[in-house]
């Protein structure tokens, strides 16, 4: 591994390193420090904190390289924070490589998460030159500083103070540090914020999260507010508000309607599952068409190229998730169902409940994975994909025994590729729950990552070593850096 993901990794022959990295990648994809079906938030955070400390202390270069993978935003922010807080322990070459990876990842993170990250660094007293340079460059690439000033005012103000930076212009500086000092602002969104203090119409020119506070201050009825603010809603805000909009009458419901044609696959699956079963059945053509269209966009050029594919999909009661991650495991399974249908030349989908109507999926019953895997293998697939939290309990352990016999006696030549994708982090074992040591398991957060995760699973299967894994991280790091450069060119300031 000459060079490594950061340009500073020393050669390594430790066979445990690849296993450790893959274990951490599974956690970084699935764990968010929130409550899961079988573990509370405190256990999740404690387990995740240990993994981050272990990786940072033992495999710093690989730890940084994970930023280039499709991990979730929570863990990406934790990695950035860990690298910046321990900058004194890195070599000059490591700091340069880490800087490129961090800059590329910051460009992908939602702005509110970046502002929270820099707030955490400020509270930790991290204010080295590299941290200030990263913040400066990230702020310089923001496409609309005035929007950030209105929507993330405290975060932007604290970031500027922390990095000893001046605002983009005098007007923005006045708005951030003395907002009521001017009788009028030339920038429209800043002026709308000023007017919204006394003029109700002005608040509808503001982002939803800002306008909501002004609406409450003016005593505007919720139904009226939702109808008038609807054109300003982001896609995610529209999704989040649809259920509450229905409670305020048909006018509000019609105003707050998500555009299904633009929705990402996993998010769309989550929306579909939030719709009552009767409504799903009535809107079957619309919802199924939207899911298949989203799956087709995700599959892109790989559509129909995967041959015979069978999926075993978990819709047991544990697929409900938790109150903070409601139906998330089931949404991932539903999205994978439609994506695999698009990728396959011939597709069979088998749900653990035995139902055959994916659109009406809901969490119910035990998890007879062993029986469904047997059914799936009988279809003679080229690929068998299992999407489940791995808690095989009907009867316990049958899935692992089926896979063991299949691999050792019936298909030792591996004519059928088998991979287990798990959307749930197991805090007790510091990993996602596995079905069998003979079948690779990868954590999955979004179905959109499925093709890449199947590729990563080859490393977990033991066919490739640490050098190959590092080369893969190098390739992803180069892509991340190039993508960040293209975004900077599109948003010059």
The DSSP-derived string for 27-70 is: HHHH--SS--SSS-HHHHHHHHHHHHHHHHHH-HHHHHHGGGS-
The pLDDT of residue 255: 55
Q: In this model, does residue 8 exceed pLDDT 70? A: no
Average pLDDT over every residue of 69-91: 94
Q: In this model, does residue 38 exceed pLDDT 90? A: no
* Domain 279-445 annotated CATH 1.10.10: no
- Three-state helix/strand/coil letters over 225-266: HHHHHHHHCCHHHHHHHHHHHHCCCHHHHHHCCCCHHHCCHH
Give 41's pLDDT tier (boundaries 50, 70, 90).
confident
Identify the burial level of 417 via C-beta atoms within 10 angstroms of its C-beta, where 0-12 means exposed, 13-18 middle and 19 or more buried: buried
**What is the pTM (predicted TM-score) of this model?**
0.85
Give 427's pLDDT tier (boundaries 50, 70, 90).
confident
Cα 111 to Cα 156: distance, rounded to the nearest angstrom: 10
DSSP string for 357-405: -GGG----S---HHHHHHHHHTT--SEEEEES-S--BTTBTHHHHHHHH
Give 312's pLDDT tier (boundaries 50, 70, 90).
very high
CA angle 331, 334, 336 (to 5 degrees): 110
Identify the burial level of 374 via C-beta atoms within 10 angstroms of its C-beta, where 0-12 means exposed, 13-18 middle and 19 or more buried: middle
Structure token digits, residue 133: 């340079």
Q: Map residue 310 onto helix, strand or coil.
A: strand
Q: In this model, does residue 493 exceed pLDDT 50? A: no
Radius of gyration of the chain (CA): 24
CA distances from 157 to 118, 144, 173, 217, 335 (A): 11, 15, 9, 24, 40
Element (H, E) at 25: helix 15-30
Top-confidence residue, 251 or 427 = 427
Nearest Cα residue to 457 out of 425, 429, 426, 434: 434
DSSP state, residue 326 = B
156-205 pLDDT, tens per residue?
999 999 888 888 889 999 999 999 999 999 999 999 999 999 999 999 99
429-446 pLDDT, tens per residue?
888 899 988 888 999 999
Nearest Cα residue to 443 out of 10, 116, 132, 75: 75
Q: Does a cis peptide bond (omega within 30 degrees of 0) precede residue 462?
A: no
The pLDDT of residue 347: 97
For the chain, what is the mean pLDDT?
87
For 165, phi and psi rounded to 5 degrees? -110, 150
Spans of all domains in the chain: 15-164, 196-264, 279-445
Q: In this model, does residue 94 exceed pLDDT 80? A: yes
Give 137's pLDDT tier (boundaries 50, 70, 90).
very high
Give 463's pLDDT tier (boundaries 50, 70, 90).
low
Give 492's pLDDT tier (boundaries 50, 70, 90).
very low
344-377 pLDDT, tens per residue?
999 999 999 999 999 999 999 999 999 999 999 9
Cα 206 to Cα 234: distance, rounded to the nearest angstrom: 12
Average pLDDT over every residue of 307-313: 97
Q: Which residue is associated with the tokens 């995740």? A: 48
The pLDDT of residue 115: 96
Q: In this model, does residue 453 exceed pLDDT 90? A: no
Average pLDDT over every residue of 84-102: 92
């Amino acid at each position: 591994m000459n060079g490594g993901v950061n340009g500073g990794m020393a050669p390594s022959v430790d066979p445990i390193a690849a296993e450790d990295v893959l274990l951490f990648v599974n956690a970084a994809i699935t764990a968010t420090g929130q409550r899961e079906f079988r573990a509370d938030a405190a256990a999740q955070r404690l387990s995740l904190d240990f993994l981050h400390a272990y990786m940072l202390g033992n495999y710093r270069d690989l730890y940084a390289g994970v930023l280039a993978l499709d991990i979730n935003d929570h863990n990406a922010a934790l990695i950035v924070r860990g690298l910046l807080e321990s900058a004194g322990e890195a070599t000059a070459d490591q700091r340069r490589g880490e800087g490129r990876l961090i800059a590329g990842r910051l460009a992908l993170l939602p702005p509110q998460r970046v502002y929270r990250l820099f707030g955490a660094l400020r509270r930790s007293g991290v204010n080295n030159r590299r941290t200030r340079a990263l913040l400066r460059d990230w702020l310089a690439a923001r496409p609309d500083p005035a929007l950030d000033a209105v929507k993330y005012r405290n975060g932007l103000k604290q970031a500027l103070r922390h990095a000893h930076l001046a605002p983009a212009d005098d007007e923005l500086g006045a708005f951030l540090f003395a907002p009521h000092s001017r009788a009028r602002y030339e920038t429209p969104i800043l002026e709308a914020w000023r007017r919204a203090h006394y003029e109700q119409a002005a608040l509808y020119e503001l982002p939803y999260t800002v306008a909501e506070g002004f609406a409450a201050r003016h005593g505007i009825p919720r139904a009226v507010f939702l109808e008038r603010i609807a054109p300003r809603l982001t896609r995610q805000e529209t999704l989040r508000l649809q259920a509450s909009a229905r409670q305020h009458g048909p006018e509000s419901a019609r105003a707050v309607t998500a555009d299904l044609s633009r929705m990402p696959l996993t998010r769309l699956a989550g929306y579909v599952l939030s719709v009552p079963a009767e409504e799903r059945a009535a809107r079957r053509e619309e919802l199924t068409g939207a899911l298949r269209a989203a799956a087709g966009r995700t599959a892109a050029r790989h559509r129909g190229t995967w041959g015979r594919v069978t999926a075993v999909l978990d819709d047991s009661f544990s697929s409900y998730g938790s109150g903070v991650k409601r139906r998330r495991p089931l949404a991932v399974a539903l999205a994978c169902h439609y994506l695999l249908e698009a990728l396959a030349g011939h597709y069979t989908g088998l749900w653990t409940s035995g139902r055959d109507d994916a659109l009406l999926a809901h969490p119910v019953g035990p998890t007879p994975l062993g029986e469904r895997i047997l059914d799936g293998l009988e279809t003679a697939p080229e690929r068998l994909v299992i999407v489940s939290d791995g808690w095989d309990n009907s009867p316990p352990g049958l899935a692992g025994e089926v896979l063991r016999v299949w691999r050792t006696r019936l298909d030792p030549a591996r004519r059928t590729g088998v991979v287990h994708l798990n959307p749930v982090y197991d805090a007790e074992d510091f990993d996602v729950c596995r079905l069998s040591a003979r079948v690779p398991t990868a954590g999955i957060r979004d179905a959109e990552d499925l093709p890449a995760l199947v590729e990563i699973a080859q490393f977990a299967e033991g066919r490739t070593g640490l050098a190959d894994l590092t080369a893969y991280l190098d390739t992803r790091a180069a892509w991340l850096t190039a993508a960040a450069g293209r975004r900077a060119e599109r948003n010059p300031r």
